[in-house]
A and B are shown apart, each in its own frame.
Chain A
Amino acid sequence: MDAIFLQILNGLDKGAAYALIALGLTLVFGTLGIVNFAHGALFMLGAFCAVSLNKLMTLSTKVEDTSVTLFKAYKEQPYLEIWFPDMGHTLIEYSVPLSILLAIPVMILVGIAMERGLIKHFYKRAHADQILVTFGLAIVIQEVIKAYFGANPIPQTAPEILSGSADIGSWLGLGQNVVYPWWRIVYLLFSGVVIFGVFAFLQFTTYGMVVRAGMRDRETVGLLGINIERRFTLVFALATIVAGLAGVMYTPVLPPDYHMGMDFLVLSFVVVVVGGMGSLGGAVLAGFLLGIIQSFASMTEVKAVLPGIDQIVIYLVAVVILLVLPRGLMGRAGVMDD
């Protein structure tokens, strides 16, 4: 019982990351009809927003270390701590959550530039062309990041107060060994808020209503005199923000490196397809579902029966679902039926 509960928890945080990436991916697909292979690179860009902010805040200079009295010693101290002693220290500690403030404008700019500069010209082209051009773009983004930040993962730390683990087991009257890192709880809550926000935006605002109408029938919406192009640009920017935020908050869980986007992209595509192309609810559901399934498959008891299952289970589920339910879990008829 404890073990099962723990595995569900473990699956949730990975599932949350999958769900967030897949949400943006399927949003772009459902509205713009674009298969965006560069979406994983956007996730990675978000993660590197956190890295850059941290680097910026910890820009440091040499100062004399007064704690050493025997000889003259020097230590590196960030400017921020020199200028505002206590405040600066706290700021640096909270650099990951603060990166959200940096990531949002950066991702909006990236998203708009990408849509206006490149994606716009590919609305009428074949899906294969879209895949290929965004794949090329993903390589470019990846290599630029590699040139500036190097190839090694750059670990980021969560604020100290959140760095321990929560003793969930004792709260719920389960065993003592059911513990779960605080930061992952934060990540879960955060992704819940983001997912809810996106759904609320699409469901309860007039703007979102128009976008949903555009997803159904873009031509008619255009004929009604609505500038659907501009709305779609914003939807694309929204999707990049979601991917970027997912990346920012994931940095304490997984040290970002330049190819993390590609690793997640393949899985997220599987998630989108399992959920059903163009279905937002399906993407979220499938994200969490596959995360949990993956975490169950990596239990030692399961691996003893089916060796290697943890490596392939996601793909296996994807293959079975695609062959049995061609439209995925919640796909609508008429979307990508060719």
Chain B
Amino acid sequence: MKNGTMNDLTRFAIFAGVVLAMPLWLEPLGANYPDLLQKFAIYGIFAIGFNILFGLTGYLSFGHAAFLGIGSYAAVWSFKLFTMNAIPAVIFGVLFAGLLAYVIGFLSLRRTGIYFSILTLAFAQMSYNLAYSVLTPITNGETGLQLSQQDPRIIDSLFVEAGAGLPSTNLFGMKMSGYPGFYFCAVMLIICFFISMRIFRSPFGLMLKGIKSNQNRMNYTGLNTRPYALTAFVISGMYAGLAGSLLAVTDPLAGAERMQWTASGEVVLMTILGGVGTLVGPMIGAGLIKYFENIFSAFNNNVLADIFSFLPDSVSEVVVSVLGLFVGSGWHLTLGLLFMVVVIFLPGGIMEGIDRVISKFRSSRQPVADNKTVSSQNQPGE
């Protein structure tokens, strides 16, 4: 993504505009409802954070879901103990995720390559299994952690009498569900994007890229790379914690399944699909996966039969039964195939695809001398 036509400020402004206008331009795509929009923003944060680690340093973590989970738990505990305000919940989520990331990163970063992946995976599975079994007093095990009437909520109880129903999360009185919830997440996403952009452009980011391309050489020049990698790991863990706490803000419950390794796999998927190491790629990947998950899993054979009703009966039956495998509960099949196709043909993800299209477009508009022979056939008026 080094097209010098755009400077960072305009890129940031465009990103912010596009994110904030999501309810408008997603309307025709049938994705304009708050739950889904919140998911776009939240998983965008998760993927952007993951990209800071994987995209910049090349360390493939298979355990990022642990940070997502702990962020959620911390946020729900903040709702239970202190206040229903979203700000402290987010702060707690980020803080605890950062602490966990520091511990796990400190140990895991002693190894590289696949050993690092296995170590992070092992730590995440440990957290998941513990959350399910022994830590039940904290995590409420299989049921998941929920709000209840008996929660103390120390700060809230100073100001208002507890109502009859369960209180909802708020931001200084503004309810954090529906569109306000989305805008809260969107603002967070924009802030996160800004920070990530600054990291990409900073000397620190360059150092991380150096780790990715040749860690040995960095070490030979007398530089200790581990603190840099550890910082990247902690930052990326904090992003995941923020995403986890936002999940709890929009819907105040937390379950252990958020920590499972399939959840870690999902964020890897999002990042790869969008484009590793690019600024907006992970966000696009996250949005696409969540969009398809939502659209495809809503389809079922009846809907398909409606769509293909114009075909003769026998043909449409076959078509529906074949396509039925790919939608509804089988949408994971589509995801798996999509994923394989992207890794095989487009290792750089969607961003690489866009770049290729753009460069093709450009070279056909302004043919340079040496590829004139190839492109001249397609040029009208030449």
Contact = CB atoms under 8 A, between A and B. Distances in A.
Nearest to A338: B113
Interface in B264-311: 265, 268-269, 272
Contacts of B114: 35, 127, 131, 273, 277, 336
B136 to A, nearest CB: 10
B34 interface: no
A270 B129 contact: no
Interface in A117-147: 118, 121, 125, 127-129, 131-133, 135-140, 142-144, 146-147
Nearest to A151: B329
B129 A312 contact: yes
A308 B130 contact: yes
Interface in A206-222: none
B128 to A, nearest CB: 9
A129 B343 contact: yes
Contacts, number: 110
DSSP majority for the B interface? helix
A157 B235 CA distance: 51
Contact of B126 (A140, A142, A312): A312
A144 B133 CA distance: 32
B123 interface: yes
Given A139-B332, A336-B115, 12 more contacts: A131-B60, A133-B340, A135-B339, A136-B337, A139-B333, A139-B339, A140-B333, A140-B337, A143-B325, A147-B333, A322-B115, A323-B111
B119 interface: yes
Given A277-B114, A308-B133, A128 B60 contact: yes
30 contacts: A125-B347, A128-B60, A129-B343, A131-B117, A132-B268, A132-B343, A133-B343, A135-B339, A137-B340, A138-B336, A139-B335, A139-B336, A139-B339, A143-B330, A266-B125, A273-B114, A277-B114, A308-B134, A311-B129, A311-B133, A312-B126, A312-B129, A318-B118, A319-B107, A322-B115, A326-B115, A336-B113, A336-B114, A338-B112, A338-B113
Interface of A: 35, 118, 121, 125, 127-129, 131-133, 135-140, 142-144, 146-147, 262, 266, 269-270, 273, 277, 307-308, 311-312, 315-316, 318-319, 322-323, 326, 336, 338
Instruction: Pick the 3 closest A-B CB pairs, nearest first.
Output: A308-B134, A139-B336, A311-B129
Interface in B72-113: 107, 110-113
Interface string B317-333: 00000000100001011
B200 interface: no
A323 B343 contact: no
A318 B337 CA distance: 32
Nearest to A319: B122
A319 B60 contact: no
Contact of B347 (A129, A136, A269, A319): A129
Contacts of B123: 315, 319
B111 A322 contact: yes
Contacts of A138: 336
Interface in B226-253: none
Contact of B122 (A137, A262, A270): A270
B143 to A, nearest CB: 17
B107 A132 contact: no
B122 A318 contact: yes
Nearest to B116: A322
Contact of A140 (B111, B117, B265, B336): B336
A121 B340 CA distance: 12
B330 A323 contact: no
A275 to B, nearest CB: 12
Nearest to A273: B118
B121 interface: yes
Given A136-B343, A307-B134, A315-B126, A146 B119 contact: no
Contact of A315 (B60, B122, B134, B344): B122
